C-alpha cells in the first residue's frame, strides 16, 4: 500500500473516521493506530509485522529494564543495542559480507534474505529510544500500546522521518484534538508531496535510468543532465514522501519531524546535510557524532569523526561498496571547507529580504548542488564498475551531439521546484501562502490539477528510499 | 507576494505549454504508445475474461484447444487475404516474413506448428514468404534477445535480423506501387503510434529505451514527404518489428535504413498487433504513405492472438470481441473459476 494509491486513500479515510470517533480515549486511539499500522505493514508482506513486533518488544523491554536498573545500565544498554541492531545487520549486510569475501577468492553461496521495508528506520528509532532512556532524556514508556503506536505509526514506518522519542513519544501520551485549522496545512503538505512524487520524481525516473543504461553511447552533456535529473528525482521522491507522511500524521494530530528544509538552497555541504534527511542527520549527530567527540579544535580528529559518520551513513543507505564510497566522498567534501576555515554554520536561509540571490550566494549554492550531485553517481550505480563508466563518460565523451530531447522535458519541472522553494524559503512548504483563502484554494487547485494532468501513468512506483 | 504570483503564473504557463506533452498519453502495460478509446462492452469483456493463454497452452488443451486454434487459423487466413487485397489496391508488393526470437530450447509447439501453416497460407494467396526462424536457430536466446529480462531483440539481435532482411528487400528493388494519393485524400496520421513522441520508456522491465515517432505516427525520426522520390518499404507487424527496449537507431528497421540510402524504410510496427490490426492500419492510414513494398512481419503467436481475450486486450479497434462457444469453453478449461 503506497501513499499515492487509492487503497491508501480509503485506508486513511477509514482510520481517520474511527480515530476521531474515539477522540476521548487516548488508549483507544493508540490501539487503533497500532492495529491500522500493522495492517498497513502486513499489506507489503505477511512476515514484516513479525519483525516490527519483535523490535517493538525489544525496545520496550530494554527501555523498562534500563530505567529500573541501578548498577548495570550500561551493559544492559549495550546488550539492547546489539540485539536490536542484529536483525538489521544480519538481513541487510550478510550478503554484502559474503560478496566481499567472494571477491577475494572464496566461493560462498548468497543467502536468500528478505529485508523488510522500513527495517532500518524503525531499528534506528528503537536504538534512539533506549539510548535516550539510558541518558535519562526520556522516561521509559510504561504503556506497551503507546510505545507500539510510536514505533509503528504508519506515516513514518516505511521511510521515516526517523522519530525522536524526546519529541514524538510524548505526543502519543497526550489527548489529541481535531483542529480544523490543521486541516488546511495537512492537505497542503500532502498535495505538495504528491505533486513532487507523482509529477516530478516518477516522470524523471525512466529518463535517469536511460542515462545509466547508456553510459557508453551518451555524451558528457547527456550524462550531466542525467545525473542532475537524478538529484531532482531523489529529492522530489524522498521529500515528497516525507511531506505526505507529515501531512497524514498531522491529520491524526501528530507532528512529525521536518525531514527536508530546501536542501538545494544550501551554501556548503555542512548546510546541505542539516537540511537533507534531517531526521537521519539528527540521529547520527545525537547517537554517533556527539559521543565520538563532535566538533573539536583538532581538525584532524574532527575530520576523522566526520569521515566515520559519513561512512556509517553510506553503509546505512545500502550494503554495497558504492554506498560506502558515496559516504566517504561526502565526508571528504567537508575537508577543504574545514581546513580553509570556511565551514560556516549558517543559521538562517540565504539572502533574507531579497528576491534574488547575490552572485556569491548563487555560486555557493551551485557549487554545493554539483558536489552533492556528482556524488550521486555512486548512489545510483548498481556497482563500482557502472559508477566508473558513468564518471568516465561524464568527463571524456565530448561531442556536440544534442542529448536526447526527452531529457530536457523534465527541466521545467525542476526549475519550477527550485523557484517555488526559493521564493518560499522562509515558510514550511511552497504552498504555505499568506494570501486570501480564494487565492490559496486556486493555488491548491492548480497543484492538484497539475498532478492529475502530468502524473506518470501507472506510476505506483516504489518510493526510492523504501530500499534503505 | 509578487514573487508568489509570479510563480503561479509560471505554473499556469507550464500547464498550457505542456498540454501536448507526450508523456501523458496513455502508455499501456506493454509500452505501446497508442491513444485509446473506451467501449463499455469491450471493457466488460476485458474485466470478465482477463486471462490470455499463449498459443502453446491452447495447443496443449486437447480437442477444445485444437478447435479454437483452427478457428484462429481461419481468422488468420481471412485477414491475410484481406491484407493482400489492400496491398493489391495500391499496387504494392506484399511480402510475408516469419520472424521470431523463439530459438533453441525456447522454440515452442506453437512455433513448430505455426511456421508451416503461415507458409502454406501465404502460398495459397500467391504471396512470397520467407522463414527467418531457421536462420536464427543457430543463435541462443541470450545472443539475440534481452534475456533474462525480456524476450525481445537485443541490439545484436536486431543487427542479425537486419542482415536477414537485407537480401529480401534487395530482391524487390525494382518494384513500384501504382497508386498515389492527393493531399486532401491523405490523412495526417499514417501510422498508429502517437505522433512527435520523444521519450524514454522501460516497459516496467528496467530496460530503458528511447522512442521517437515522426509527425505521421511511425517509429522513425523524419516525416515522409510527397511525392516520394525513393522506393518506400513499409514494415508492419507487432513488437518484433517495433522493437521495444531498443533505441530508434538500434532497431532492425533503422539499421536497414542506414544500409539502404536509396530507399525509405518505414517502421509501422505496434506492440501486440496481429493481422487484423495490420489490415486496419494499412486500409485506414498506412496505404496513404504510398508504400511500394509492404513487409508483413509475422510469427506463429499471431495465430493465437486471434483468441478473443487477446483481441479484446490488444486489438487496434478497441471493439468488443465476443467469444464463440468453443472459445468460452476453452477459457473455462484453462482458467477455471476459483
Residue-range domain boundaries for chain A: 6-178, 181-267+346-467
Is residue A78 scored above 90 in pLDDT? yes
The answer as to whether B10 is a domain residue is no
Tens of pLDDT, residue by residue over A248-271, are: 999 999 989 899 999 999 999 989
DSSP per-residue string spanning A211-262: HHH-TTTS-HHHHHHHHHHHHHHHHHHHHHHHHHHHHHHHHTT-------S-
**Which residue of chain B comes nearest to A432, CA vs CA?**
B4
| Domain count of the fold of chain B | 1
Cβ contacts of B26 on chain A, cutoff 8 Å: 457
The answer as to whether B200 is a domain residue is yes
The answer as to whether B2 is a domain residue is no
The predicted pLDDT at position B205 comes to 82
Which residue range is the domain that position B124 belongs to? 39-334
Chain B 189-218, residues with CB within 8 Å of chain A CB atoms: 198-202, 204, 206-210
Q: What value, to the nearest 5°, has the Cα angle with vertex B306 and ends B300 and B311?
A: 125
Cβ contacts of A406 on chain B, cutoff 8 Å: 23, 198-200, 210
CB count, 10 Å around CB of A110? 11
What whole-number distance in Å separates Cα of residue B295 and Cα of residue B92?
10
What whole-number distance in Å separates Cα of residue B279 and Cα of residue A467?
47
The answer as to whether B30 is a domain residue is no
A5 interfacial to chain B (CB closer than 8 Å): no
**Which residue of chain A comes nearest to B16, CA vs CA?**
A450
Verdict on whether the full-model pTM lies above 0.90: no
- Helix, strand, coil share (%) of chain B residues, nearest 5: 45, 10, 45
Contact A15, A22 (CB under 8 A): no
The answer as to whether B129 is a domain residue is yes
Confidence band (pLDDT; 50, 70, 90) for A459?
very low
A446 interfacial to chain B (CB closer than 8 Å): yes
Confidence band (pLDDT; 50, 70, 90) for B33?
low
The predicted pLDDT at position A97 comes to 86
Cα diameter, chain A: 72
The predicted pLDDT at position B34 comes to 53
Tens of pLDDT, residue by residue over A13-51, are: 999 999 998 888 899 999 999 999 999 999 988 889 999
The answer as to whether B172 is a domain residue is yes
Give the number of A-B residue pairs with CB atoms closer than 8 Å: 80
Tens of pLDDT, residue by residue over B235-292, are: 999 999 999 999 999 999 999 999 999 999 999 999 888 899 999 999 999 999 999 9
Is residue B15 scored above 50 in pLDDT? no
Task: Tell me the shortest Cα–Cα distance from A136 to chain B, in angstroms.
Answer: 46
CA distances from B195 to A229, A408, A410, B224 (A): 25, 18, 19, 13
Cβ contacts of B27 on chain A, cutoff 8 Å: 457-458
- Across the range A128-132, mean pLDDT stands at 94
A433 interfacial to chain B (CB closer than 8 Å): yes
Interface test with A, best of B2, B7, B26 (most A CBs within 10 A): B7
A418 interfacial to chain B (CB closer than 8 Å): no
The answer as to whether B6 is a domain residue is no
State whether B7 and A419 contact (CB < 8 Å): yes
State whether B23 and A456 contact (CB < 8 Å): yes
The predicted pLDDT at position A111 comes to 83
A460 interfacial to chain B (CB closer than 8 Å): no
Cβ contacts of A449 on chain B, cutoff 8 Å: 15
Is residue B295 scored above 90 in pLDDT? yes
Tens of pLDDT, residue by residue over A304-319, are: 999 999 999 998 888 8
State whether B3 and A423 contact (CB < 8 Å): yes
Amino acid at each position: 500500500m503506497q501513499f499515492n494509491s487509492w487503497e491508501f486513500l480509503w485506508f486513511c479515510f477509514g482510520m481517520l473516521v474511527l480515530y476521531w470517533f474515539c477522540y476521548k480515549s487516548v488508549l483507544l486511539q493508540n490501539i487503533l493506530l497500532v492495529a491500522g499500522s500493522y495492517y498497513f505493514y502486513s499489506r507489503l508482506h505477511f512476515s514484516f509485522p513479525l519483525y516490527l513486533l519483535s523490535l517493538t518488544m525489544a525496545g520496550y523491554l530494554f527501555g523498562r529494564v534500563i530505567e529500573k536498573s541501578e548498577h548495570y545500565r550500561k551493559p544492559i544498554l549495550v546488550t539492547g543495542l546489539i540485539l536490536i541492531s542484529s536483525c538489521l545487520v544480519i538481513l541487510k549486510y550478510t550478503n554484502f559480507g559474503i560478496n566481499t569475501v567472494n571477491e577475494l577468492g572464496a566461493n560462498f553461496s548468497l543467502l536468500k534474505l528478505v529485508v523488510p521495508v522500513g527495517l532500518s528506520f524503525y531499528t534506528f528509532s528503537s536504538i534512539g529510544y533506549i539510548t535516550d532512556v539510558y541518558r535519562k532524556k526520556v522516561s521509559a514508556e510504561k504503556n506497551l500500546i503507546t510505545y507500539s503506536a510510536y514505533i509503528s505509526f504508519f506515516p513514518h514506518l516505511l521511510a521515516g522521518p526517523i522519530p525522536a522519542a524526546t519529541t514524538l513519544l510524548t505526543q502519543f501520551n497526550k489527548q489529541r484534538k481535531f483542529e480544523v485549522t490543521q486541516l488546511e496545512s495537512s492537505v497542503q503538505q500532502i498535495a505538495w508531496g504528491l505533486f513532487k512524487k507523482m509529477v516530478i520524481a516518477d516522470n524523471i525516473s525512466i529518463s535517469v535510468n536511460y542515462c545509466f543504461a547508456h553510459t557508453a553511447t551518451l555524451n558528457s552533456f547527456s550524462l550531466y543532465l542525467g545525473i542532475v535529473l537524478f538529484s531532482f528525482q531523489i529529492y522530489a521522491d524522498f521529500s515528497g514522501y516525507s511531506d505526505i507522511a507529515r501531512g497524514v500524521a498531522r491529520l491524526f494530530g501528530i507532528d512529525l519531524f521536518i525531514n527536508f528544509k530546501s536542501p538545494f538552497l544550501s551554501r556548503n555541504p555542512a548546510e546541505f546535510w542539516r537540511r537533507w534527511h534531517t531526521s537521519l542527520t539528527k540521529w547520527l549527530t545525537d547517537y554517533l557524532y556527539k559521543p565520538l567527540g563532535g566538533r573539536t579544535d583538532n581538525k584532524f580528529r574532527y575530520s576523522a569523526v566526520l569521515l566515520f559518520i559519513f561512512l556509517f551513513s553510506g553503509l546505512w543507505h545500502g550494503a554495497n561498496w558504492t554506498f560506502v564510497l558515496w559516504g566517504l566522498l561526502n565526508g571528504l567534501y567537508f575537508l577543504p571547507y574545514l581546513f580553509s576555515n570556511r565551514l560556516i554554520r549558517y543559521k538562517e536561509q540565504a539572502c533574507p529580504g531579497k528576491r534574488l540571490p547575490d552572485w556569491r550566494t548563487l555560486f555557493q549554492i551551485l557549487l554545493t548542488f554539483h558536489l552533492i550531485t556528482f556524488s550521486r553517481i555512486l548512489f545510483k550505480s548498481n556497482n563500482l564498475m557502472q559508477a566508473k563508466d558513468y564518471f568516465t563518460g561524464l568527463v571524456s565523451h565530448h561531442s556536440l551531439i544534442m542529448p536526447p530531447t526527452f531529457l530536457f522535458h523534465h527541466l521545467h519541472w525542476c526549475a519550477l521546484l527550485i523557484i517555488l522553494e526559493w521564493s518560499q524559503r522562509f515558510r514550511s512548504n511552497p504552498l504555505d501562502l499568506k494570501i486570501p483563502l480564494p487565492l490559496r484554494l486556486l493555488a491548491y487547485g492548480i497543484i492538484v490539477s497539475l498532478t492529475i494532468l502530468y502524473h506518470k501513468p501507472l506510476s505506483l512506483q516504489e518510493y526510492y528510499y523504501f530500499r534503505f | 507576494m509578487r514573487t508568489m504570483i509570479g510563480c503561479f503564473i509560471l505554473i499556469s504557463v507550464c500547464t498550457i505549454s505542456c498540454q501536448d506533452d507526450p508523456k501523458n498519453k496513455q502508455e499501456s502495460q506493454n509500452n505501446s504508445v497508442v491513444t485509446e478509446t473506451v467501449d463499455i462492452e469491450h471493457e466488460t469483456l476485458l474485466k470478465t475474461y482477463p486471462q490470455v493463454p499463449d498459443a502453446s497452452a491452447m495447443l496443449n488443451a486437447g480437442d477444445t484447444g485444437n478447435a479454437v486454434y483452427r478457428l484462429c487459423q481461419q481468422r488468420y487466413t481471412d485477414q491475410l487475404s484481406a491484407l493482400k487485397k489492400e496491398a493489391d489496391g495500391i499496387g504494392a508488393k506484399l511480402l510475408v516474413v516469419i520472424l521470431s526470437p523463439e530459438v533453441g530450447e525456447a522454440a515452442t509447439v506453437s512455433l513448430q506448428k505455426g511456421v508451416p501453416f503461415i507458409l502454406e497460407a501465404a502460398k495459397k494467396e500467391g504471396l512470397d514468404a520467407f522463414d527467418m526462424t531457421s536462420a536464427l536457430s543457430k543463435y541462443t536466446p541470450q545472443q539475440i534477445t534481452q534475456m533474462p529480462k525480456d524476450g525481445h531483440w537485443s541490439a545484436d539481435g536486431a543487427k542479425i535480423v537486419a542482415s536477414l532482411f537485407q537480401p529480401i528487400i534487395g530482391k524487390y528493388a525494382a518494384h513500384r506501387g501504382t497508386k498515389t494519393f492527393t493531399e486532401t485524400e491523405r490523412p495526417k496520421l499514417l501510422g498508429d503510434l502517437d505522433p512527435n513522441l520523444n521519450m524514454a520508456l522501460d516497459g516496467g522491465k528496467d530496460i530503458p529505451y528511447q522512442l521517437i515517432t515522426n509527425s505521421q505516427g511511425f517509429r522513425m525520426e523524419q516525416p515522409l514527404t510527397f511525392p516520394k522520390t525513393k522506393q518506400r518499404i513499409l514494415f508492419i507487424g507487432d513488437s518484433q518489428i517495433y522493437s521495444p527496449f531498443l533505441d530508434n537507431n538500434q532497431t532492425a528497421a533503422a539499421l536497414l535504413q542506414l544500409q539502404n540510402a536509396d530507399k525509405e524504410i518505414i517502421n509501422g510496427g505496434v506492440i501486440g498487433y496481429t493481422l487484423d490490426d495490420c489490415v486496419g492500419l494499412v486500409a485506414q492510414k498506412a496505404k496513404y504513405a504510398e508504400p511500394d513494398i509492404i513487409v508483413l512481419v509475422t510469427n506463429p503467436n499471431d495465430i493465437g492472438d486471434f483468441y478473443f481475450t487477446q483481441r479484446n486486450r490488444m486489438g487496434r479497434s478497441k471493439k468488443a470481441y465476443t467469444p464463440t462457444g468453443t472459445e468460452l469453453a476453452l477459457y473455462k478449461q484453462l482458467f477455471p473459476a476459483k
